[in-house]
Structure 1
Amino acid sequence: MNSFFRVTLCLLVILGVVGQPGATFAAGNTTNYGFWRDVAKQGTVEAWRLMGSKPAEVIVLTNAGYAVVQGSSTEGCIDGLSQATGATIGKANLLEAHSSRENPLWFLVFDKDTGNSVYCEVNSQAVPANLGNGKPVGLIATDRLFSKISAANIDAKTILANPTAWNDQVKAKVFNGKEFALVTLANVAAAGAPYDFVKAALYHDHLCPGVNSGYLIANYLDKQLPLRSADEKYYIISTPVWCKEDALQTLLNTTPGKSGMAILPLDNNGKERLIPEAQNLAGIYIRWNSKTQTGDGLVLSFDFSQANAISGIDNSKGFPWESKLKMDLFLLDYYDKPEVFVNIIKNFALAPGEKPESYAALGTNVLEKLGLIK
């Protein structure tokens, strides 16, 4: 070994930056990890108490890893939940819901067989400001450690059979305002939805028909405009914008930051100017080959009225969350039949010298360019 590197390594060992041969190097604060692991375990013990026993099959939802509490990251909670419940990411029953780092840390345990669930939300004020020197979690009483612990049956069939009773729970904020999010995510995961779809819903932090539409559009592209080589990728011009974009970014990796998507909001005046064939416009999708510098694309529509007609769901009746939950479950049966709701408004090819970004460039009206304006 070079003498300079030998001396440098010795110094790093002395300073504790690099461990001795055979030692484990732990990134981050291990005290924080143990604290959050034990927080999850402590909450799970309370969940089993409220449920009467540990369920045979559970789904666990959490925003651990996203939430930051007292300056501490919370990913250790994920291991604690896995150890206490047996749920794992690989078994698709330990699900990480996207959230802001400022949001409270929470988790929900859902019994697949009965629909019973327990929601726990951590009281950030009870968390030591310096976990390295703070009290161990075992010394913090459960009723102080958690600002909210609540039990509820969230089985979709049970809820829809008596929507008024569940709406009372929604008004009472039994899950601190996350009632719709947790009901939809838990039930669709329990129904065996494709994992890539569940991941899209988790990124959106709840499931609504808009996320479903994005999944169906992605499946339609697989059939009608598939990528044929590693040189090809999608470029999406999102107009009008709705929840579908979060699904498309997750499924197709078409994020704006990687030049995969341009966001062009379309207000009511713009929608009124669309040609009749484009009234259900759902975006512009370009297949671009970076090697040959060529591209073609589709202008697509999504027909929510068709979904309502086939399902018999009336959005004007019932509670606001009710029709959305029904539609989420209804569309599960159509993931391999996206053409029922997705249609082609127009096929087009990029002219020589054009690039996908030129369709969304400043000063370019892509709707006029593609003949979609009256």
Structure 2
Amino acid sequence: MCLTREKLWPKVPDMRCLNQQIHLKLHLKSGIIYMIPANPLKHTPPELPGDSPPIYRKGNIRMKRSFVIFGTVLIFVFTAAQGFAAMPSITPVIQKAMTSLKVTKADPNFLILTNATAVMTDGKSSLPILEQVQETTGAMVGKGNLLFFQRVQNAPLRIMLFKRSDRNAVIISADQSKWAVDTLDFALKTVSDPNFWKDAKDKYAAGKDLFTLATLGNAWAEGAPYDFLKSAELHNHICPGLTSGYLMAHFILEHYPLEKGQRYTIISSPVWCKEDALQVVMDQTPGKRGLVVKPLSKEQKEKISIPNPAGMVLIWDKKQKTGKGVALSFDFNTLKGLYPEDTPKAASILYTAPYLSSPDKFVSASKEFNLDETMFNAICEAGSNPWEVAGLTTP
């Protein structure tokens, strides 16, 4: 096979075929391979970016065709090796997990829980892997048996198959260029045992995500409301703090519905896990200025005059420039009284799930106050203590 001189080197008049002796040069900066004639004294190669003027000796620069072939083979092997590092198909792993759990495709009594929508695998989106999982299991968001949880993009991919009836789980994790599989149960006896959690993250490939998978899986199995599960997806686990935010959100929506022209502004102060549930259930976010986050010092918390302070909701009419503020309290003693004192956080949802529709049992409006524009702005602005502005602190 012949290559034209235009393809090889425009300034070389007689380079017609590969059987002529040539010099193979790989320019490391640009990644371009150049074919250089065996007699550079007659044909000076084009200068490459960053190259120093080449010095050639006629006797030691000749390369036979074998060197060209060898170089080509090296390039091929290097390129092919990149493909060998890719993750193998997950379909047979999922099929084996389904057999182990004794579940069938489209069975609504088993759950797929994954962070595939958030993380990258092999430097690429994990969505094609998720597609394989959905095709194999039949799990769908619309059926309520496909849930996600948030993680940073470079976190390992996790996929859990979880059976409602016996709480058995198979967790599949991306581990280098292979799939690591954990098989365990998340029944009450297991997740309530403090000894299980002592070394769990080191014992299993799923690591610290075991807490996430156990809490979301059990919440789903207990029939937790979908908006609660969505809150847990953002928070990436379930704990008493997230539960308090969910209950507060529904307390506000039930007791303080908006009228025409009004909007909510949530004052998150003090700050804890509750904010993630308030964002999901009420669609109030910092980016839309519906959630103002204001941490307090220990001394500032101690001076708040209402019991169990959990934040405020401001109901504001921008056109009328009037509104109402409500200082909220949350009773953690009542919430934590639902389960034994030494219960690990991962097991708390098994005791609190039946009460997610009863916000009044835990949340109360400790104080209502009228708002004008000056007070509204003062509560929301940076640097202010909202409890002081509202007159709800002790000297």
User: Secondary structure of 1:199's match?
Assistant: helix
User: Secondary structure of 1:119's match?
Assistant: strand
For the aligned residues, what is the CA RMSD?
2.5
Deviations 1:12-68 (A, max 9, x none): xxxxxxxxxxxxxxxxxxxxxxxx998442431231354366484210100112102
The structure 1 residue matched to 2:248, chosen from 194, 206, 217, is 217
Following superposition, the deviation at residue 174 of structure 1 comes to 5.1
Alignment of 1:116-127 (within 5 A): 116-123=168-175, 125-126=176-177
Following superposition, the deviation at residue 168 of structure 1 comes to 5.4
Distance 2:96 2:271 in 1: 42
Question: Conserved in 2, the CA contact under 8 Å of 1:313 and 1:327?
Answer: no
Distance 2:192 2:310 in 1: 33
The structure 2 residue matched to 1:334, chosen from 355, 360, 383, is 355
> Based on CA coordinates, which of the two structures has the bigger radius of gyration?
2
**Aligned partner letter, 2:186:** I
Alignment of 1:189-204 (within 5 A): 189-204=220-235
Distance 1:63 1:87 in 2: 15
- Alpha carbons of 1:354 and 1:76: their partners in 2 closer, same or farther (altered >3 Å)? farther
Following superposition, the deviation at residue 265 of structure 1 comes to 0.7
Alignment of 1:364 with 2:384, yes or no, is yes
- Alpha carbons of 1:363 and 1:264: their partners in 2 closer, same or farther (altered >3 Å)? closer
Distance 2:152 2:196 in 1: 30
Following superposition, the deviation at residue 158 of structure 1 comes to 3.5
User: Secondary structure of 1:350's match?
Assistant: strand
The structure 2 residue matched to 1:273, chosen from 293, 296, 303, is 303
**Aligned partner letter, 1:221:** I
Which position in structure 1 is the counterpart of 2:43? none
Following superposition, the deviation at residue 349 of structure 1 comes to 1.7
User: Secondary structure of 1:372's match?
Assistant: coil
Alignment of 1:18-33 (within 5 A): none
Question: Conserved in 1, the CA contact under 8 Å of 2:247 and 2:363?
Answer: yes
Distance 2:192 2:157 in 1: 31
Question: Conserved in 2, the CA contact under 8 Å of 1:37 and 1:79?
Answer: no
What TM-score do the two structures reach when normalised by structure 2?
0.72
Instruction: Point out the more displaced range, 249-258 or 292-301.
Output: 292-301
Following superposition, the deviation at residue 208 of structure 1 comes to 0.6
Distance 1:210 1:120 in 2: 28
Following superposition, the deviation at residue 164 of structure 1 comes to 3.8
Alignment of 1:107 with 2:107, yes or no, is no
**Aligned partner letter, 1:358:** A
Question: Conserved in 2, the CA contact under 8 Å of 1:38 and 1:77?
Answer: no
**Aligned partner letter, 1:364:** S
Distance 1:154 1:45 in 2: 21
Question: Conserved in 2, the CA contact under 8 Å of 1:238 and 1:282?
Answer: yes
The structure 2 residue matched to 1:154, chosen from 186, 211, 228, is 186
Question: Conserved in 2, the CA contact under 8 Å of 1:108 and 1:119?
Answer: yes
- Alpha carbons of 1:326 and 1:114: their partners in 2 closer, same or farther (altered >3 Å)? closer
Distance 2:174 2:205 in 1: 15
The structure 2 residue matched to 1:182, chosen from 199, 204, 213, is 213
Which position in structure 2 is the counterpart of 1:233? 263
**Aligned partner letter, 1:373:** T
Distance 1:365 1:114 in 2: 49
- Alpha carbons of 1:37 and 1:289: their partners in 2 closer, same or farther (altered >3 Å)? farther
Question: Conserved in 2, the CA contact under 8 Å of 1:59 and 1:93?
Answer: yes
* Runs of 5+ consecutive residues of structure 1 not aligned to the other structure: 1-35, 127-144
Following superposition, the deviation at residue 214 of structure 1 comes to 0.6
* Runs of 5+ consecutive residues of structure 2 not aligned to the other structure: 1-85
User: Secondary structure of 2:143's match?
Assistant: coil
Distance 1:119 1:188 in 2: 17
Question: Conserved in 1, the CA contact under 8 Å of 2:339 and 2:348?
Answer: no
Which position in structure 1 is the counterpart of 2:93? 43
- Alpha carbons of 1:75 and 1:290: their partners in 2 closer, same or farther (altered >3 Å)? farther
Question: Conserved in 2, the CA contact under 8 Å of 1:107 and 1:119?
Answer: yes
- Count, aligned residues: 308
- Alpha carbons of 1:250 and 1:312: their partners in 2 closer, same or farther (altered >3 Å)? closer
Instruction: Point out the more displaced range, 101-110 or 51-60.
Output: 51-60
Which position in structure 2 is the counterpart of 1:3? none
Deviations 1:190-245 (A, max 9, x none): 1111101110011100111111101100111022211233x332111111110000
Distance 1:350 1:49 in 2: 61
Distance 2:385 2:102 in 1: 61
Question: Conserved in 2, the CA contact under 8 Å of 1:219 and 1:335?
Answer: no
What TM-score do the two structures reach when normalised by structure 1?
0.75
Identity across the alignment (%): 33
Distance 1:76 1:281 in 2: 46
